[in-house]
Amino acid sequence: MELNKAVSNIISNHNVECVGLFGSRARGDYLDSSDYDIFIIANISMEEELEIEAELEQLLDNNIDLINLKEDMDRILLKNIVNEGIVLYDKNNAFEKIYNFIEKFFIENNDFLKLRERDLLD
């Protein structure tokens, strides 16, 4: 099944605000054997996240790495996903809200992050 049809299936069966693609398939440097790195934005249980991941694996006949984007997750990972991600479905500007949150975080903490990076490199 193609990715867009799999996403349609997920959004019709689950309360998901946003679905997107990141990683090698989003960048276009994937191999046929590459998994799908998919992000969602949803206020759901871990059990439902695992259900979605299993459904996508079955629909796409491939391994899936599913990440539910939240403001309290690792900021570097969140920034990387937001910067390279391709939004496939977005309800109520959920992606824009996460994007604005992480951009604001990095602007407000720029000096600290530069010092931390310098300390790590020394």
Banded pLDDT at 19 (limits 50, 70, 90):
very high
- Per-residue pLDDT, 1: 72
Q: What is the pLDDT of residues 82-91, one digit of tens each?
A: 999 999 999 9
Res. 65: pLDDT tops 80: yes
- For residue 18, which phi and psi values (nearest 5 degrees)? -155, 145
Q: What is the pLDDT of residues 37-64, one digit of tens each?
A: 999 999 999 999 999 999 999 999 999 9
Contact of 102 with 75, CB cutoff 8 Å: yes
Q: Tell me, what CATH number does 38's domain have?
A: 3.30.460.10
Q: Which two tokens stand for residue 114?
A: 């530069």
Number of domains in the chain: 1
DSSP class per residue in 18-57: EEEEESHHHHT---TT--EEEEEE----HHHHHHHHHHHH
- Cα angle for residues 14, 95, 117 (degrees, 5° grid): 125
Banded pLDDT at 107 (limits 50, 70, 90):
confident
- Per-residue pLDDT, 75: 87
Banded pLDDT at 118 (limits 50, 70, 90):
low
Residue found by looking up tokens 């969140």 in the block: 78
Domain range for residue 73? 3-121
